[in-house]
Structure formats: C-alpha cells, structure tokens
Structure 1
C-alpha cells in the first residue's frame, strides 16, 4: 500500500483502489461521502477531484491518484466509510475488478 495525493490506494494489475485517507493531523475514524463529481464509467485525470468527503471537522475534495476510468463506485453518497476502506476502483475499461 502506498500514499498518493493524500489517499491510500493499492494497485492490482492496473486497477487502483481509492480509499478513505487519514486526514492529516485530524483524529478521525470515518468519513461520509457527500457527493461524487463523476459517475461509474467516467474518465478521470490524475489530480482531478472526484468525490467530496466530510469528517467531524472538515469537508474536502479527494483527487484521483491516477488517470483512468471509474470502474466501480463502492461507497454511495451519504455512506459513512471507515478510514482505509475502499471508495472506488479506477482503471481502464474491461479490466477485472479485484475482490474487496
């Protein structure tokens, strides 16, 4: 596992799993998905904001750590997701999704 753009991610082949990051310096154990800026199947650029998250202290936009396509959105809007848990899978069309 490595840290990129503040979001923990791991790669299986070329699929990147976007995870809820630990907010720098803010003690939090979970985040709520406020809204997605992109839909499944949408192309994203590296560094482009794709989801807004909310903690007890702050709302923030999480950027895509890689360029590709949102293959699957795992955490829907309004879901509370623990730090480190997956939000979405990003890769290229036709790639096999990892088991989560």
Structure 2
C-alpha cells in the first residue's frame, strides 16, 4: 500500500491559492479514480477535484473553509 497526495490544483496562471468549500467524501470512504472528492473555490469560481487514483480517503489535511497555496497537499489516498 502507498499514500498518494492530492494537491491544491492551479486552474489558471494567476491562481495562487484556493479554499476548500466542501469535502464530498469522508475519511475511510472508498474513492474511484476520476470521482469528485472535494469542492474548491478560487477566484470566485467553484470547481471540483477528482481522485487521481482508486483507493481509500485516508486523511484530510485541509479542512472546509481553509485557504491554502497552490500545490499544498489537501488529502491522502491510500492505494
């Protein structure tokens, strides 16, 4: 088993940070590759981040309403 970091994406050249608005899965949930797992707001636009792999959502590193820089690890998925 290994842990995969899911990072805050950068959707535009000027995006420097994003805010987690809602986790769509909770710790311990199984997730499928390509499945939406979290909603992020950046520059007044909301987007979802999809699971990059199939596995278990092992740890949430950034809580709802928390703002972090682009490329910050936001959760860990155990494969």
TM-score range, shorter chain: over 0.9
Question: Segments of 4+ in structure 1 off by > 3 A?
Answer: none
Query: How many residue pairs align between the two structures?
Result: 79
> 1:22 — aligned with what?
10
1:63 aligns with 2:50: yes
- Unpaired segments of 5 or more residues in structure 2? none
Q: Please tell me whether Structure 1 or Structure 2 has the larger radius of gyration of its CA atoms.
A: 1
User: What's the TM-score, normalizing by structure 1?
Assistant: 0.75
What secondary structure sits across from 1:81 in the alignment? strand
Cα RMSD (Å) of the superposition? 1.2
The answer to which structure, 1 or 2, has the higher relative contact order (CA under 8 A, 6+ apart) is 2
**Counterpart mapping for 1:15-54 below 5 A:** 15-23=3-11, 25-54=12-41
Q: Aligned partners of 1:64, 1:72: CA distance in 2, in Å?
A: 13
Higher percent of residues as strand = 2
State the partner residue of 2:70: 83
| Structure 1: unaligned runs, 5 residues or longer | 1-12, 93-100
Q: Secondary structure at the match of 2:10?
A: coil
TM-score using structure 2 length: 0.93
